[in-house]
Amino acid sequence: MIRYGILGFGHHAAKRLMKAFAESKDSKAAGLWRRDAAKAQENARRFSIPLVFDSPEALCASPEIDAVFIVSPDALHLPHVLLAAKHGKAILCEKPLGMNAGEVEEMLAAAKAAGVRFGVAQNMRYNRSLGLIREWIAQDRIGKPQLAHSQFSYSAAGSPRAWIYDPTLALGGPIGDVAIHCIDGLRFVLGTDVTAVSTLAHRDARSGDVESHAVIGLDLTSGSVAAVTVTTRSAYRSLIEVTGESGVILSENGLTVDHPVEVVHRRGSEVIAVEEVSNADAYSRMLDGFTAWVEDRGTYLAPADDALHNQRILDAAYTSWHESKTQLL
């Protein structure tokens, strides 16, 4: 059993992570810290978390904590990772891992020097929908992939995450927030890296200095090309699809954990196969996967060294937008 301390307990922790801890086999939420001390006490009572710490330093130094789960705003990830590494704690950090690739390189160096496991909370690598798509592609059901597309849309109006439009705390708008899921999901199902990135994006009055919607083109090492489309101005949608030489695999809302989804294999107008899967246990599977890795009982699907490539893609996406030029990785 690994005892986790949650740094930056907020909306995401309350909505997603507490259910995951309750359903996990080997992972326990043992303590928390958040910037609002009164809310921290309220969260601890509501979710029966035994320890509340008055600072990140106190949480990371506690002998009652084995691993630190960092759920704080993006700009706090670097100091929190470095603090956890300093105290020799295993580290699981939310995405995007840092504000830029340089920060991630600093994190990786600190974790390596401390000899601690360091993973990124890419829960969607534990989605059964993505696992099935990856399996079908590996079985050559659609031939060599040619095109891939993932879309993540949601409405940010009234979001409880008040910091998501603050560029001093957030890496950006939906590119940093949810395109990272799309990018990582496509890399995972295709087993590929990215060689070039090109971005079109727009701001609006509500998003201020960060983008409100964007399209990102990706050139892949596999020879495929991909598009990621994201917006914070639409109803929820999380599509993933791959077009191969002899067919298509797609899943409407295939990234969601809120309800079962269908994974569909099509050839032209013909439906070859349909399988319904649920991603409801993705977060608990992620937690127990990381715990098993920390305890040397297994591997983890999203180690932080792999996330460095994702961070370089995000850096290139923003540079491409700002400079109106394709970026090579």
* CATH number of domain containing 39: 3.40.50.720
Residue 236 falls inside a structural domain: yes
CATH code for the domain of 224: 3.30.360.10
Listing DSSP states for 171-215 in one string gives S-SHIIIIIHHHHHHHHHHHT--EEEEEEEEE--TTTTTS-SEEE
Q: How far apart are CA 299 and CA 289, in angstroms?
A: 7
Residue 13 falls inside a structural domain: yes
Helix (H, G, I), strand (E, B) or coil at 155: strand
65 and 214, same structural domain? no
Residues 6+ apart with CB under 8 A from 34: 8, 9, 10, 40, 43
Residue 306 falls inside a structural domain: no
Please tell me the predicted confidence (pLDDT) of residue 27: 97
Does the pLDDT at position 108 exceed 90? yes
Residues 6+ apart with CB under 8 A from 209: 165, 167, 203
Residues 6+ apart with CB under 8 A from 267: 246, 247, 248
Burial class of residue 324 (count of CB atoms within 10 Å of its CB; 0-12, 13-18, 19+): exposed
288 and 275, same structural domain? no
Query: What is the tally of structural domains in the chain?
Result: 2
Other CB atoms closer than 10 Å to residue 203's CB: what's the count? 14
Task: Enter the pTM of the model.
Answer: 0.95
Token pair recorded at residue 26: 């080997």
Residue 33 falls inside a structural domain: yes
pLDDT for 129-163, tens place per residue? 999 999 999 999 999 999 999 999 999 887 777 77
Please tell me the predicted confidence (pLDDT) of residue 175: 97
135 and 264, same structural domain? yes
The pLDDT confidence band at residue 324, using thresholds 50, 70 and 90, is: very high
190 and 130, same structural domain? yes
Q: Please give the angle made by the CA atoms of 208, 12 and 282, to the nearest 5 degrees.
A: 125
- Give the CA dihedral 31, 37, 40, 44, nearest 10 degrees: 70
Please tell me the predicted confidence (pLDDT) of residue 170: 93
Residues 6+ apart with CB under 8 A from 15: none
Please tell me the predicted confidence (pLDDT) of residue 159: 75
254 and 206, same structural domain? yes
100 and 154, same structural domain? no
Residue 88 falls inside a structural domain: yes
Residue 58 falls inside a structural domain: yes
246 and 289, same structural domain? no
Q: How far apart are CA 278 and CA 77, in angstroms?
A: 30
Does the pLDDT at position 238 exceed 90? yes
Contact 244, 137 (CB under 8 A): yes
324 and 211, same structural domain? yes
177 and 98, same structural domain? no
272 and 159, same structural domain? yes
Q: Domain range for residue 47?
A: 2-122+284-300
Arithmetic mean of pLDDT over the chain: 96
